[in-house]
Amino acid sequence: LKPGDEEITGQIPLGDPKVDGIKLPWEQQNDNTNNPFPDLELEDEYSLPPSWQGPSHCVGEYCLFSNPTFGTDGIAMVTTPQSAWISVNFRPVADKTVESTAYSVAPIPGKGLGIVANRLIKKGEIIMQRTPAVMIHSKPHVELQPEVREKVYEAMINALSETAREKFLAQYGDTVRDKIDNNAFRMFVGDDQHEHESHLGSFPEIARINHDCRPNLHYRLTNITHTTVAVRDIPAGEELTISYIYGQASKKTRTKELQDWGFNCSCSQCTLSGFETAASDARVREIKRLEKEIEDKMTKGGKEIKPEMAGKLVQLYLDERLHAYLAPTYTRAALIYSMFGNEEKARELATEAVGALTREYGAHAKDIPSMRQLAENPKGHWSWGIKVVSEEPKKKWKLGGKKQNATETVKGK
Ligand SMILES: C[S@@+](CC[C@H](N)C(=O)[O-])C[C@H]1O[C@@H](n2cnc3c(N)ncnc32)[C@H](O)[C@@H]1O
């Protein structure tokens, strides 16, 4: 969330008690109840298993739901019964992660605390995989009156397991709200039948990872599980980083976005010399130009495309150290070389694409079977030697795209 978001008001009609006399929810209860918030009767459709507490502390349709034994360290959610039900019923994710001694928390000059590799971490190794300790629907987080929000958050923190509470409170930031604003990831909770709704997920251990515009980790959210993966080999002693913003932007744009986040970036890319920064900005511009050119030519049937364009794009991504975003680029390049009948390059790039897709989207990424087939047997792949796609070019050309999971994140300040 960016500064200014808290100015948005109105969806939750609580009013200001001091101004218009509307009572806060807990003031509306009769005196002989200990529960200051009205509980909500759950429709059968959204009833949760008996291990769950809630709904309680309801404000409008948003209530507290908790389970101290769920996922990594238990969870407390402030959300709608529908989103709670969807989250509880998501398929669990359990990949093999590195041992917890492979990294540790350490002070990082100019960034507070951060996480540093204790041994060589290999490209593709999964560093952390966690479910949120706290998950809050974005609307009440932004729109609730501060007094009401504080009460709800107090109950939410009390509902956490002791371990989760300790980890949550140890995060960077003064108040509960600060800790959420500075550390949470935006996640969208929904499924095929229900609209995806914006939430803020707090993963306290992952939140120690600082930002770098050219990160060595990629993160993804699969349903409500957060996974961080190494996108290149990381030597012992190097800081582990993710990007809080979209990295393919000029320094000026990145600086502005990170200032909106509340800090002046001191990452490897933001501290380059003026000359290096100009070269980097030029590469980013060239990446965008080439991507557009390739896309335009492909949607027009691919007549004027040259495989070298795709090769150049891959090289620009590597030169620019954009290792966290290689999957679509490798996939596109492998297809183009295959279309032009270059077996060696098609195999090589499709093999790279399988690795990048696995790192960036997980082992079930939808383009993986096709890229695997291309790597193993280019001549048997649909794209082999077609050069010019005159029929239905868009349909054949379309890459799997970014949205692979039910949830998708932007670092959710
Ligand atoms: C999610 S926290 C990261 C962990 C935090 N450093 C800590 O001590 O817990 C985000 C905060 O870390 C700091 N930070 C992260 N990346 C940074 C960077 N590239 N440059 C400067 N400060 C950074 C900023 O204060 C930012 O608001």
Note the maximum CA span of the chain: 79
- Going from N- to C-terminal start, the domains of the chain cover 5-248, 274-397
What predicted TM-score, i.e. pTM, was given to this entire model? 0.86
With bands split at pLDDT 50, 70 and 90, how would you rate the model's confidence at 37? low
- Could you please report the per-residue DSSP string of 58-111? EETTEEEEEETTSTTT-EEEEE-HHHHHHHHHSPP-------GGGEEEEEETTT
Q: 106-123: per-residue pLDDT in tens?
A: 999 999 999 999 999 999
107 Cβ below 6 A of ligand 1: no
List the CATH code of the domain at 5-248.
2.170.270.10
Asked if residues 204 and 183 have their Cβ atoms less than 8 Å apart, the reply is yes
Q: What ipTM was estimated for this complex?
A: 1.00
SS3 percent helix, strand, coil of the chain, rounded to 5, is: 40, 15, 45
Q: Indicate whether residue 245 lines ligand 1 (CB < 6 A).
A: no
Closest residue by Cα to atom 26, ligand 1, is 263
Residue to substitute in 104, 172, 251 for testing ligand 1 pocket (most ligand atoms within 8 angstroms of CB): 172
pLDDT of 274 above 80: yes
> What are the angstrom distances between the C-alpha of 399 and each of 86, 361, 391, 393, 402?
28, 13, 17, 12, 9
The response to whether residue 237 sits with its C-beta less than 6 Å from ligand 1 reads: no
Indicate if the pLDDT at residue 380 is higher than 50.
yes
Task: Please name the residue whose Cα sits nearest to atom 18 of ligand 1.
Answer: 265
Q: What is the pLDDT of residue 47?
A: 87
386 has pLDDT over 90: no
Give 136 Cα–ligand 1 centroid separation in angstroms. 21
